[in-house]
Amino acid sequence: MSEFSLINTHFKNSTNRHQNTVLGIGDDCAVSTISANTELVSCMDTLIAGRHFAFETTAYAIGYKSVAVNLSDLASMGATPYAILLGLSLPKNNADWLKEFALGVSDICNQFHVELIGGDTTKSDVLTISVTALGFVKKGQAIKRGGAKIGDMICVSGNIGTASLALSHILTGQQTTLQNALDLPMPKVDLGQKLVGYASSMIDISDGLGQDLGHILTAGGVGAVLHLEDIPCDDEVDALPFDKKYQHILNGGDDYELCFTISKDNFDKFNALHPNQIFKIGKITEQQGLQLYHRHQKVDIAIQGWEHF
């Protein structure tokens, strides 16, 4: 059973519907009515030592990244971040470690004007950090996974595959210049907000471009064509042999760039206002499924991505 069918089977329809819920389980964030003009956007992501980050990862990076991945989910809805709640399960009370960890948390919170408003601290065998992030959108403005229209362009917000290459360097014991791409991802919060009113659907790339774009296609009931040579990537990823390069780009995760769909008209308008921030990589099609092309040649690469079960 996949992580997604587990959630759908046991949790998706397990509780009361509340009139304030605009969007429940199934998107990057939930959306709830809180006033006549404003909706609350909320999400939670958990990071576990040895699973989501290597045991050697610095305390600073663990603190920073735990918040960054949640702000990325807010970004993918076009929300303005407001606050976080921090759940900490610690094997021991190590003051030096906690000081560095807290600095990582506060640095990214300060950068995005986010306040730590609560949390929970417990002892546990495995270091686990669970962050809940809260943000706001104007009523009806959240950008969902569903909404892609046939003929829309598919875009990303930056280089794809860098974090995955960094991870493979680390796992094989190689020196890497790409460590920061993995440890200190920059959530695209400003861009996410700018795309409100332009993008027809959006997701952040946490589990791999192939799988995460797949969520947009499923939610919209549409298919897509990707032009692999148009996907932006770091020089080190670009220099890899074809198969490795596109494994990192399509099936690697942890980049926390945005993937979204946008009409040709809105693409042109957005580009005129904010040049060089969004990159066209393909098109939404009526034909279901994902078709991959490289320089007009059809190619076949299995989409895997990250699933927990």
| Complex with ligand ADP: residue 13 or 177, whichever CB lies closer | 13
Contact call for residue 7 and ligand ADP (CB under 6 A): yes
Binding mask 139-178 for Mg ion (x = CB under 5 A): ----------------------------------------
Which pairing describes strands 290-294 and 223-227: parallel, antiparallel, or unpaired? parallel
CA 51/CA 207 separation, integer angstroms? 13
CB neighbour burial string for 176-200, b if at least 16 within 10 angstroms, e if fewer: bebbebbbbbbbbbebbbbbbebbb
Binding mask 69-88 for Mg ion (x = CB under 5 A): ----x---------------
CB of 30 within 8 A of CB of 24?
A: yes
Contact call for residue 27 and Mg ion (CB under 5 A): no
Residues in 192-211 at the binding interface with Mg ion, rule: CB under 5 A:
204, 206
Contact call for residue 28 and Mg ion (CB under 5 A): yes
| Complex with ligand ADP: residue 29 or 154, whichever CB lies closer | 29
Give me the residue label for tokens 């040649």. 297
Contact call for residue 223 and ligand ADP (CB under 6 A): no
| Complex with ligand ADP: residue 52 or 248, whichever CB lies closer | 52
| Complex with ligand ADP: residue 202 or 278, whichever CB lies closer | 202
CA 187/CA 158 separation, integer angstroms? 11
Binding mask 168-207 for ligand ADP (x = CB under 6 A): --------------------------------------xx
Residue 26 site contact among Mg ion, ligand ADP, none (CB < 5 to 8 Å, cut-off depends on kind): ligand ADP
- Rounded to a whole number of angstroms, the minimum distance from the CB of residue 67 to ligand ADP is 14
Among 25, 117, 150, 239, which residue interacts with ligand ADP (rule: CB under 6 A)? Answer: 25
Contact call for residue 28 and ligand ADP (CB under 6 A): yes
CA 309/CA 307 separation, integer angstroms? 6
Query: By CB under 5 A, which span of 27-35, 57-65, 77-85, 92-100 interacts with Mg ion?
Result: 27-35
> What's the Cα-to-Cα distance from 263 to each of 64, 91, 260, 292, rounded to whole Å?
34, 49, 10, 20
CA 132/CA 129 separation, integer angstroms? 10
| Complex with Mg ion: residue 76 or 247, whichever CB lies closer | 76
CA 197/CA 273 separation, integer angstroms? 13
Q: Taking every pair of C-alpha atoms in the chain, what is the biggest distance, in angstroms?
A: 57
CB of 205 within 8 A of CB of 159?
A: no
- Rounded to a whole number of angstroms, the minimum distance from the CB of residue 296 to Mg ion is 32
CA 138/CA 142 separation, integer angstroms? 8
Q: Where are the alpha helices (DSSP H) in the chain?
A: 3-10, 59-75, 95-111, 162-171, 179-183, 189-194, 209-220, 235-238, 242-251, 264-273
Q: Which residues bind Mg ion (CB under 5 A)?
A: 28, 73, 204, 206
Q: Which residues bind ligand ADP (CB under 6 A)?
A: 7, 11, 25-28, 45, 73, 206-207
